[in-house]
Structure 1
Amino acid sequence: MAAAAASTGNGSPPVGLLVLMVLALAAGWFANAVRPPTPTPCGAPGGPPVTAPRVRMRDGRFLAYAESGVSRDGARFKVVYSHGFSGSRMDSPRASQALLEELGVYMVAFDRAGYGESDPDPRRSLQSAALDIQDLADALDLGDKFHLICSSLGCHAGWASVKYIPHRLAGVAMMAPVINYRWSGLPRGLARQLYRRQPLGDQWSLRVAYYAPWLLHWWMSQPWLPTSTVVSGSGSFPNALDEKNRLMALSTGMFQKRAQAATQQGVQESFYRDMAVMFGRWTEFEPTDLGEAPPFPVHLFQGDEDGVVPVQLQRHICRRLGWVSYHELAGVGHFLSAVPGLGDRIISTLLPGPAGNSSTAAGSVCAY
């Protein structure tokens, strides 16, 4: 009887063992399939070359940067710029050189961790995003305090800086900051309604980023699954200028060139790590948790025709915080740096002085 129980009677393994072996092989195949490829850091053997100036972070990583405006030594104001999704150190608010010189503005933009020529940070978090900005400022000797401008998804570093390094900030300007629909401080019904208005691929990409960020690289690489239209550039925008620029970028190859520059060390540690941090679980804090007003002005610029960030949720966040100077831009979409003259307005609003006076009252709603 024991021998019969241990085999099928012809020397073959029992059916249960065969099932376990098949399941183990399938599990091994799946684990290997969903494992993201190892990044290829700039300057490492087989990696892309280093062409930009870089500074060392607190943990030994390198951060690449680009400077604009007036010289660092002679500047009245020093501004750090945090780029958005698929961006790089070459991005900026596009303020005029004449205004930067008039106000004496030195600006430094940087490749956020894993983007462009900045080393990946597999432990990237909200706090590490703020500390990277602080490390950059210290490495470049920007002084005790500096101003910060951030754009789109790069504004998670702006909120994190308000939370973790308020003692280093003289002022913050956020340009169409991206929202996590699952923030607990948002009205649930409205957030759910607006979430479901997104293309199906964007809904699913955000679900995976929230519930299973380890699966995101595999999910995004499957042509038969619904994936992000933002990553592919296939989603249209309700604002005419945004849509015109999207079509132009695709037709001229600029969209592809920007993506290649941003992801040259691998898409996992740039795009998908970004999505996991922004749309994952905000266990450290949420913007509406910040409560007490910081000891510096915070300005938020938002278009009322933004096809990426629902203006209704942005209004709610600014009402909840109270101390944010909210500037709603009539007839404007998501890509604020492409709006003629807006870069100058953002700089002039943020910085104190004759041309820039940071004068808008907290909590006000302004039309552009």
Structure 2
Amino acid sequence: MSRKATPMADTTCRNISAASAREGKMQGKSPSSSSGVFVKLLGIFLVGLVAWIYQVIQPPPPKICGASNAPPVTSPRIKLRDGRHLAYLESGVPKEKANYKIIFIHGFDSCRYDVFPVSQELVEELGIYLLSFDRSGYGESDPDPKKTVKSTALDIEELADQLGLGSKFHIMGFSMGGEIAWTCLKCIPHRLAGAAIVAPVSNYWWSGFPLNLSMEAYNQQAMQDKWAVGVAHYAPWLVYWWNTQKWFPSSSVIEHNTKIFSAPDLKLLGRFDARTHYVAQIRQQGEYESLHRDMIVGFGKWEFDPMDLQNPFPNKEGTVHLWHGTEDLVVPVILSRYISQKLRWVQYHELTDAGHMFPLADGMPDAIVRKLLLED
């Protein structure tokens, strides 16, 4: 005799079937569900990593002189047409009585006080007015977020105009300031009465250099400086991080590593003791706005090649002098030597047994200035 299923039994069967179905579905969805969770977690991690990297490589905001909780303004300054301020220092005879007016362009990690120590005797003998200034981001000059290869040359022209230096003036540039002197010869040649370019930094990527020469010069640097300069050229957005991180050595110049100096330089380093009263001013607005921007522009892509320059004084109404020491371990002499061969109108002075800091040697500032002002 057949037995009919009771309602309770039927309900129980249906519940068991439904549970089995649900379990089957859950078991079937398990791999894809786990995969989805992993993808979401990975996405969150990557977003967080990118945000962290972005935060790490971003430089802090500058401490602009004169702003609240920032360094004070202690020097005279002019206001440029774009609203920035440029700090300057005047020395020598009054400009109204001067026979010669020279604007000095300081080097890397320096400021307006690092002007060549020309003797008072020569200043009075020739009637020299000397003007130095803080390049943008250094000392008490406002940072220039739009800094370019030519911007400092235009700052110099505006500084000269606002201080009433007349239609023409001489320039002297040392190290990174020497590199900037080339931009003055390119951008404001009509304002120059002459130029002295002393131990100038050269950009290894200037197109006028033969590849084997630029590579030879590049390889003369310490390994940490090869990396620092390479980052400035190829990955400028990493310059701040590279020179502030602690995993790898950064620029030896920024670190004040004396290993970059030759024996002749080491004999002159004691003369840096005179900088103690102002050295804190140099980077006070931030290393990115001073040192790092300098590297980015100096070793970046230039709009022109100095070796393509034309003689700004075809009628010998002025002269250009290039000075370099054979024992310079900071800036390879072979690059200046090559430039002098390409630009025959440049008077080249190569000093044996002289390093990067030779302008501090006894008598050298006067010798450089005499050549600039009296050699034709």
TM-score greater than 0.5 by the shorter chain: yes
Distance 1:4 1:30, change over 3 A: farther
Displacement of 1:197 after TM fit? 2.5
- Aligned pair 1:294/2:312, yes or no? yes
Q: Identity of counterpart residues, as a percentage? A: 45
Displacement of 1:12 after TM fit? 8.9
Note if contact 1:236-1:243 (Cα within 8 Å) is conserved in structure 2: no
From 42, 46, 51, the equivalent of 2:69 is 46
Distance 1:20 1:257, change over 3 A: farther
Output the CA distance in 1 between the equivalents of 2:270 and 2:208: 35
Q: Determine helix, strand or coil for the equivalent of 2:86.
A: strand
Q: Which moved more, 1:158-167 or 1:229-238?
A: 229-238
Matches of residues 39-118 of structure 1 in structure 2 within 5 Å? 39-118=62-141
Output the CA distance in 2 between the equivalents of 1:264 and 1:343: 28
Output the CA distance in 1 between the equivalents of 2:63 and 2:203: 29
Output the CA distance in 2 between the equivalents of 1:255 and 1:312: 30
Q: Determine helix, strand or coil for the equivalent of 1:173.
A: strand
- Aligned pair 1:285/2:304, yes or no? yes
Distance 1:327 1:3, change over 3 A: farther
From 364, 367, 370, the equivalent of 1:342 is 364
Matches of residues 180-219 of structure 1 in structure 2 within 5 Å? 180-219=203-242
The equivalent residue for 2:284 is 264
- Aligned pair 1:306/2:306, yes or no? no
Unaligned 5+ runs, structure 2: 1-23
Note if contact 2:190-2:312 (Cα within 8 Å) is conserved in structure 1: no
Displacement of 1:336 after TM fit? 3.0
- Aligned pair 1:316/2:342, yes or no? no
Output the CA distance in 2 between the equivalents of 1:104 and 1:5: 94
Q: Which moved more, 1:220-229 or 1:125-134?
A: 220-229
Distance 1:9 1:193, change over 3 A: closer
The equivalent residue for 1:365 is none
Distance 1:277 1:2, change over 3 A: farther
Paired residues, what number?
349
Output the CA distance in 2 between the equivalents of 1:182 and 1:245: 31
Note if contact 2:252-2:260 (Cα within 8 Å) is conserved in structure 1: no
Displacement of 1:244 after TM fit? 3.0
Output the CA distance in 1 between the equivalents of 2:52 and 2:300: 26
**So what's the TM-score if we normalise by structure 2?**
0.87
Q: Determine helix, strand or coil for the equivalent of 1:172.
A: strand
Displacement of 1:217 after TM fit? 0.9
Note if contact 1:204-1:226 (Cα within 8 Å) is conserved in structure 2: no
Output the CA distance in 1 between the equivalents of 2:173 and 2:324: 12
Output the CA distance in 1 between the equivalents of 2:238 and 2:138: 20
Letter matched to residue 345 of structure 1: A
Q: Determine helix, strand or coil for the equivalent of 2:331.
A: coil
Output the CA distance in 2 between the equivalents of 1:56 and 1:153: 24
- Aligned pair 1:17/2:40, yes or no? yes
The equivalent residue for 1:354 is none
Distance 1:124 1:2, change over 3 A: farther
**So what's the TM-score if we normalise by structure 1?**
0.89
Q: Determine helix, strand or coil for the equivalent of 2:136.
A: coil
Deviation per residue, 1:99-131 (Å, 9 max, x gap) = 111111100000000000000001111110100
The equivalent residue for 1:328 is 350
Displacement of 1:279 after TM fit? 1.1
Note if contact 1:6-1:14 (Cα within 8 Å) is conserved in structure 2: no
Q: Determine helix, strand or coil for the equivalent of 2:253.
A: helix
The equivalent residue for 1:363 is none
Displacement of 1:256 after TM fit? 7.3
Distance 1:192 1:156, change over 3 A: same
Unaligned 5+ runs, structure 1: 352-356, 360-368
CA RMSD of aligned residues (A): 2.3
